[in-house]
Copies of this chain bind each other. A is one copy, B any other.
């Protein structure tokens, strides 16, 4: 058995199936690809591929369709991430330049990615956890209400009104805030807890309860934002990838609303050597996504927040991977610059 050719056949099947959206047979294969052998030979190869579980036939006399495992082999061994076209690169630049806010940047990014891939795109907000504290603010609104603001060097700003047990005036609050800020500035948000606890211990006894309460509020703030939000766009594409896929659109929409599910999914996705991680069909532990693939990668520093695309397993992996990677890179650049 000719191993390289067999893989070539798999590639051809995947490409044709993605393109024409219907099972592909041996004859069509030799017609459309220069495989240099006859359809009978291809049939033998296909039988072997089927034995290995890489392709499957919906019924006896239909062509073959790639299985999740088949896509996996395709993605791992056969797909080269196709570079974007010049027009696409231009689109990225024009759409993303001129955004101001972090919110605005993410919003535009996710729309862009969705349009590039014709699929649902999601992007995770930068995690405060990995960022460092840039600024802390505490403003007294009412006698026992304090507005706490936590600003990270990732550019994100979190704020919440926090109730405190005793009345505080402006000046007292300002002093406390300065103490907390000078201790916390520059420390990773993830360590805010210990850092603040240490400072509170050094406060004059009379100030300790209030200080502790403020510290608690700030830590809560950091935690509640680490419990992550995300933005998404392009849900309409789900409905447009009609056909058999349509029955399963409802669970997918549910998954998209259950942000917790999605967030876990994204954070589980380890980057592969080429920098883009792919989860195919049932590889996603979540049942509602059994017929969907997720292509994602991190952006920003380190193994940061994720950005990705979600679509039917029958998707154009090389193109999608390229788009995700390109957009993630550009996004990283923008965030680093601002």
Q: With the chains together, A133 CA to B238 CA distance in Å?
A: 42
**Which residue from B137, B240, B249 sits with its C-beta under 8 Å from A139?**
B137
Question: For residue A101, which residues in chain B have a CB less than 8 angstroms away from its CB?
Answer: 160
- A50-58, A251-259, A263-271: which one contacts chain B? A251-259
Instruction: Say yes or no for A208: interface residue by CB 8 A criterion.
Output: no
- Minimum CB distance partner of A141 in chain B: B135
Instruction: Say yes or no for A190: interface residue by CB 8 A criterion.
Output: no
Within 8 A of B (CB), among A217-257: 233-236, 238-240, 246, 249-251, 253-254, 256-257
Pairwise interchain contact A250-B257, C-beta atoms closer than 8 A: no
In the assembled complex, how far is the CB of residue A9 from the closest CB belonging to chain B, in whole angstroms? 35
Instruction: Say yes or no for A18: interface residue by CB 8 A criterion.
Output: no
Q: With the chains together, A134 CA to B160 CA distance in Å?
A: 15
Instruction: Say yes or no for A309: interface residue by CB 8 A criterion.
Output: no
Instruction: Say yes or no for A161: interface residue by CB 8 A criterion.
Output: yes
Instruction: Say yes or no for A310: interface residue by CB 8 A criterion.
Output: no
**Which residue from B155, B251, B253 sits with its C-beta under 8 Å from A238?**
B253
In the assembled complex, how far is the CB of residue A312 from the closest CB belonging to chain B, in whole angstroms? 14
Pairwise interchain contact A157-B151, C-beta atoms closer than 8 A: no
Pairwise interchain contact B135-A139, C-beta atoms closer than 8 A: yes
Pairwise interchain contact B151-A149, C-beta atoms closer than 8 A: no
Pairwise interchain contact A235-B236, C-beta atoms closer than 8 A: no
- Minimum CB distance partner of A114 in chain B: B257
Question: For residue A234, which residues in chain B have a CB less than 8 angstroms away from its CB?
Answer: 257
Q: With the chains together, A119 CA to B239 CA distance in Å?
A: 17
In the assembled complex, how far is the CB of residue A149 from the closest CB belonging to chain B, in whole angstroms? 7
Instruction: Say yes or no for A159: interface residue by CB 8 A criterion.
Output: yes
**Which residue from B137, B141, B161, B236 sits with its C-beta under 8 Å from A253?**
B236
- Minimum CB distance partner of A102 in chain B: B161
Q: With the chains together, A251 CA to B135 CA distance in Å?
A: 44
Contact sample, A vs B, 15 pairs, CB 8 Å cutoff: A134-B141, A135-B141, A139-B149, A147-B149, A147-B151, A149-B159, A159-B159, A233-B257, A234-B257, A235-B235, A235-B253, A236-B250, A239-B239, A239-B246, A239-B253
